[in-house]
């Protein structure tokens, strides 16, 4: 018997779920991405390095800054330029804002309705008006930060190799909204802690995140899988991409062939000590400390990362002095560059090779969602094995909630070089 749930709702992008059972015994769960590949990697070949940040940003409308910053790191790596400390701190600010934006969007507008058994945040508004107004405020603050630095909230415009094309005179208009946001984020975390979440353990998967000596990882760092520290240049030696014939997205496995998890849960596991003071204090107070291997607790960890991001953003905004220099045009040369950062959903890896004109000869992008897909299937399988009947109505909710625990972004997952799976005509 195959039970197919067409059209998963409240996930970013298009996907189906196929549940294959024999005699009511679960055999396989297929999370198949239906998003049409846009072949972004392929279309970059032969084009100038200059277009990478703008074009890769269009892989995802929720986390474009992640693509821009990872691409810039790779370009700067290839051509040997170093952004200043001021530029890095501003990049961190705009990236933190994207974390707030993305986490708020997912947590309150997509995921939370599950816990109230309603269809959407629009219905949730009737029950929890104040809570959603607060969430709107957080989203708004994040948008204002990105706009202030980049001109607009989605696909911002000022991020260029070497730094920024232009700097705002002052960031003081952001300070009050950020102060309020910190208060709000703390309240929301406390509120979420009072809710009950299903019990579940996904102890068989490895967590993989970046580690940064001084910070909770975001802008760069060394890869850590719980045992080994791996340089960004060796990423491909440890993590493999495999095709799934039923999906338009690749899956990733460790070289040992095991699923792994990237994103908030992995960062929390490996870098809890580096969370901002308020975030750490709150987490400790409510007993949310590592190890946490229950994906149903991911809303709490996302919320904690919001508190962390707001607190750090406030600090950066307070210390802002408009930098003097505007970066100069760089000289392309033959070479290759790698970028790695922590996108809201986890490790994002970019690899490019350039010819002497700076034209792209090779490109490979590995996204957080494709790295999580194998774990999502494993979690679904474990969770649905416990279900008595495997009829759509009874499992839809449970399956969808489990998927939302991982906040998959399907346009991100579906970007690869060639279509060898599904013919489009």
User: What residue has token string 């590592």?
Assistant: 290
Q: Which of residues 145-184 bind another protein (CB under 8 A)?
A: 150-155, 157-158, 160, 165-166
Instruction: Work out whether 58 is an interface residue with ligand SF4 (CB under 6 A).
Output: yes
Instruction: Work out whether 36 is an interface residue with ligand SF4 (CB under 6 A).
Output: no
Helix/strand/coil for 163:
strand
Tokens of 115: 């816990």
Residue 363 contacts residue 351 (beta carbons within 8 Å): yes
Give the nearest distance from C-beta 159 to another protein in angstroms: 10
- Of 87 and 400, nearer to another protein (C-beta) is 400
Residue 124 contacts residue 118 (beta carbons within 8 Å): yes
Helix/strand/coil for 190:
helix
Give the nearest distance from C-beta 8 to another protein in angstroms: 8
* Region for residue 45 given its phi and psi (left: phi exceeds 0; alpha: psi -120 to 50; beta: otherwise): beta
Give the nearest distance from C-beta 58 to ligand SF4 in angstroms: 4
Instruction: Work out whether 10 is an interface residue with another protein (CB under 8 A).
Output: yes
Candidates 28, 133, 187, 243; binder of another protein (CB under 8 A) is 133
- Of 155 and 345, nearer to ligand SF4 (C-beta) is 155
Is the alpha carbon torsion for 140, 145, 148, 150 positive or negative? negative
Task: Report d(CA 198, CA 401) in Å as an integer.
Answer: 10
User: What residue has token string 């990872």?
Assistant: 70
Candidates 5, 21, 43, 378; binder of another protein (CB under 8 A) is 43
Candidates 46, 61, 173, 389; binder of ligand SF4 (CB under 6 A) is 61
Instruction: Work out whether 392 is an interface residue with another protein (CB under 8 A).
Output: no
Task: Report d(CA 199, CA 178) in Å as an integer.
Answer: 34
- Of 81 and 230, nearer to another protein (C-beta) is 81
Q: Mark out the alpha helices in 194-324 (DSSP H runs).
A: 235-238, 264-271, 277-285, 298-318
- Of 11 and 313, nearer to another protein (C-beta) is 11
Give the nearest distance from C-beta 12 to ligand SF4 in angstroms: 12
Instruction: Work out whether 389 is an interface residue with ligand SF4 (CB under 6 A).
Output: no
Candidates 64, 177, 344, 368; binder of another protein (CB under 8 A) is 64
Instruction: Work out whether 165 is an interface residue with ligand SF4 (CB under 6 A).
Output: no
Q: Which of residues 311-330 bind another protein (CB under 8 A)?
A: 326
Instruction: Work out whether 398 is an interface residue with ligand SF4 (CB under 6 A).
Output: no
Task: Please spell the DSSP secondary structure of 355-390, one letter per residue.
Answer: -TTSBEEEEEEE-HHHHHHHHHHHHHHHHHHT-S--
How far CA 57 is from CA of 44, 176, 245, 309, in Å, comes to 12, 29, 27, 21
Instruction: Work out whether 157 is an interface residue with ligand SF4 (CB under 6 A).
Output: yes
191 interacts with, out of another protein, ligand SF4, none, CB within 5 to 8 A per kind: none
- Across 1-84, where does the E strand assignment appear? 2-5, 15-22, 25-33
* Region for residue 99 given its phi and psi (left: phi exceeds 0; alpha: psi -120 to 50; beta: otherwise): alpha
36 interacts with, out of another protein, ligand SF4, none, CB within 5 to 8 A per kind: another protein
The helix (run of H) or strand (run of E) holding residue 240 is strand 239-242
60 interacts with, out of another protein, ligand SF4, none, CB within 5 to 8 A per kind: another protein
Give the nearest distance from C-beta 323 to another protein in angstroms: 13
Q: Which of residues 102-121 bind another protein (CB under 8 A)?
A: 105, 109-110, 113, 119-121
Candidates 5, 89, 116, 136; binder of another protein (CB under 8 A) is 136
Task: Report d(CA 238, CA 85) in Å as an integer.
Answer: 31
Residue 367 contacts residue 59 (beta carbons within 8 Å): yes
Return the range that interacts with another protein (CB under 8 A); candidates 57-65, 238-246, 278-286, 337-345: 57-65
Residue 340 contacts residue 220 (beta carbons within 8 Å): yes
Cross-strand bridge partners of residue 365:
350
Candidates 23, 213, 214, 418; binder of another protein (CB under 8 A) is 418
Candidates 17, 40, 343, 376; binder of another protein (CB under 8 A) is 40
- Of 38 and 398, nearer to ligand SF4 (C-beta) is 38
Task: Report d(CA 175, CA 294) in Å as an integer.
Answer: 35
Task: Report d(CA 28, CA 316) in Å as an integer.
Answer: 48
Other Cβ atoms less than 10 A from the Cβ of 294: the count is 17
Q: Footprint of ligand SF4 on this chain (CB under 6 A)?
A: 58, 61, 155, 157
Q: Footprint of another protein on this chain (CB under 8 A)?
A: 7, 9-14, 35-36, 38-40, 42-43, 47, 51, 54-55, 58-62, 64, 105, 109-110, 113, 119-122, 125, 133, 136, 139-140, 143, 150-155, 157-158, 160, 165-166, 326, 400, 409, 411, 418-419, 423-425
């Amino acid at each position: 018997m195959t039970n197919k749930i067409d059209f998963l709702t409240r996930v970013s992008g298009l996907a189906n779920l196929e549940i294959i059972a024999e005699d009511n015994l679960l055999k396989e769960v297929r999370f198949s991405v239906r998003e049409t590949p846009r072949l972004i990697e392929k279309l970059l070949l032969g084009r100038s390095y200059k277009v990478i940040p703008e074009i890769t940003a269009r892989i995802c409308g929720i986390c474009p800054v992640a693509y821009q910053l990872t691409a810039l790191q790779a370009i700067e790596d290839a051509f040997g330029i170093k952004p200043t400390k001021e530029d890095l701190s501003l990049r961190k600010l705009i990236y933190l804002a994207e974390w707030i934006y993305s986490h708020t969007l997912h947590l309150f507008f997509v995921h939370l309705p599950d816990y109230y058994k309603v269809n959407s945040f629009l219905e949730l508004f009737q029950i929890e008006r104040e809570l959603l107004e607060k969430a709107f405020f957080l989203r708004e603050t994040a948008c204002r930060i990105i706009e202030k630095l980049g001109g607009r909230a989605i696909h911002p415009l000022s991020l260029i190799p070497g730094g920024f094309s232009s700097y705002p005179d002052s960031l003081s208009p952001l300070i009050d909204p950020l102060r309020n946001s910190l208060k709000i984020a703390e309240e929301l975390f406390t509120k979420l802690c009072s809710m009950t979440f299903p019990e579940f353990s996904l102890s068989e998967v490895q967590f993989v995140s970046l580690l940064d000596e001084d910070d909770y990882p975001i802008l760069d760092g060394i890869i850590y899988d719980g045992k080994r520290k791996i340089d960004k240049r060796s990423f491909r030696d440890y993590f493999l991409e495999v095709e799934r014939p039923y999906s338009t997205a690749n899956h990733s496995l460790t070289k040992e062939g095991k699923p792994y998890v990237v994103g908030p849960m992995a960062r929390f596991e490996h870098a809890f000590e580096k969370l901002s003071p308020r975030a750490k204090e709150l987490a400790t107070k409510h007993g949310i400390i590592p190890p946490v291997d229950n994906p149903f607790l991911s809303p709490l960890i996302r919320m904690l990362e919001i508190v962390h991001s707001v607190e750090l953003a406030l600090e950066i905004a307070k210390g802002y002095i408009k930098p003097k220099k505007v970066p100069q045009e760089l000289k392309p040369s033959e070479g290759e560059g790698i970028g790695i950062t922590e996108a809201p959903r986890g490790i994002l890896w970019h690899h490019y090779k350039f010819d002497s004109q700076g034209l792209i000869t090779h490109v490979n992008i590995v996204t957080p969602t494709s790295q999580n897909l194998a774990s999502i299937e494993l979690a679904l399988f474990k969770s649905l094995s416990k279900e008595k009947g495997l009829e759509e109505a009874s499992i839809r909710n449970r399956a969808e909630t489990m998927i939302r625990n991982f906040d998959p972004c399907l346009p991100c997952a579906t970007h690869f070089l060639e279509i060898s799976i599904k013919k489009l005509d």
